[in-house]
Structure 1
Amino acid sequence: MHPGHFQIEGKWNSIKLGATNRAVIEEGGSYRCFMSAIELLKNGNLNVTYFHRKNGQCIKEFYIADKTAIPGRYEFEYEGKNYLTFVAVTSDFAVVDTENQSDRGQLVVVELYGRGLSVGDAGQKAYSQHSARRGIPEENIFDLSKLEHCKHIP
């Protein structure tokens, strides 16, 4: 289940979103977003495309995540330094851990992506286990698969 680059690339849908600080993933929160696609660049970095809502409108954004010396781990700047790690990746799902370090302290955000709008038991289990390991309580996890994703809004 460890990622190969061929498995990371392509279109993804946000299924679940959890964080150690619930406020950042609630509607209007700075980490409330809907994954769209991941592209591997020639230099090994990632171009990550996502949508978020701002003033009721869906906004398409992207960021470049720089590869690190650790396989499957990338870093980018957003409200501090972020370390993005692909915890588990299959052809159907990905569990992604983002750790933010800023002057406000440490924040952990764990996401479950699917190729479709749902994932099977293996994906749900991998996500639940990793979220628990990272100290994210159930009440801090949103099921985004039940929400209208921005990319489906004209």
Structure 2
Amino acid sequence: MKAVLLSLVLVLVCATQETPAEIDPSQIKGEWRTIYAAADNKEKIVEGGPLRCHYRQIECTNGCEYLSLTFYVKVDGTCQLFHKEAKRQEGDVYIIEFAGTNVLQLIHASENMLVTYIENDDGEKITKITKGVAKGDSFTQEEFQKYQELNSEKGIPNENIENIIKTGKAPEDSRYPK
């Protein structure tokens, strides 16, 4: 009887666990702006860090076998534009080479918000990173709470969140005063 009860409890626990919905990368194409970034190794995403990327454009190519990413990174004090392609792998992850090898996964998408999860291997250490990007200039309070939840799920401390949009603007972005 105890085994039957234990089995029933296990089935109920498994049934109530949320299965993450697959995100169709073709639905996330367009202009995006990095609002927040967080990492378990914060030095990678602070001002001047090698992975403090300011996303600008994401496109699917070849039936979403590739994600084409356009972003800015400040290198030696100068904001530089990069165009990189991430190749899709089994399990809906993408591989991109930039400041090491990066395994990128789309972990949340809505009409105005996209969150990516990246594991960066620089040859010495693996760093877990999330990027919260938006169609606009900010997140709503609910979107920010969702971003914090996703960081917690990935083991990234929320105190390591950097507000990217407040601290850096790409030179071509006409929405901001020069």
Tell me the TM-score normalized by structure 2: 0.78
Q: Distance in 2 between matches of 1:107 and 1:86?
A: 17
Moved more, 2-11 or 83-92: 2-11
Q: Percent identity?
A: 25
Deviates further, 20-29 or 51-60: 51-60
Q: Deviations over 1:91-135 (max 9, x none)?
A: 110011001234312110101000001122332122101111222
Q: In the alignment, is residue 130 of structure 1 matched against residue 150 of structure 2?
A: yes
Alpha carbon RMSD of aligned pairs, Å?
1.9
Moved segments of 4+, more than 3 Å? none
Secondary structure of 2:143 counterpart = helix
Give the length in aligned residue pairs.
153
Separation of aligned partners in 1, 2:35 and 2:117: 14
Q: Is the counterpart of residue 65 in structure 1 residue 100 in structure 2?
A: no
- Compute the TM-score of the two structures, normalised by the length of structure 1: 0.89
* Higher RCO (C-alpha under 8 Å, 6+ residues apart): 1
| C-alpha contact (below 8 Å) 2:50/2:73 kept by paired residues | no
**Counterparts of 1:1-150 in structure 2 under 5 Å?**
2-43=22-63, 44-71=65-92, 73-150=93-170
Q: Please state how far the C-alpha of 1:80 moved relative to its aligned partner.
A: 3.1
Give the strand-richer structure, 1 or 2: 1
> Where is the helix percentage greater, Structure 1 or Structure 2?
2
* TM-aligned CA distance change 1:12 to 1:131, over 3 Å: same
Contact 2:95 2:103 in 1 (8 A): yes
Give 1:48 shift. 0.4
Larger radius of gyration: 2
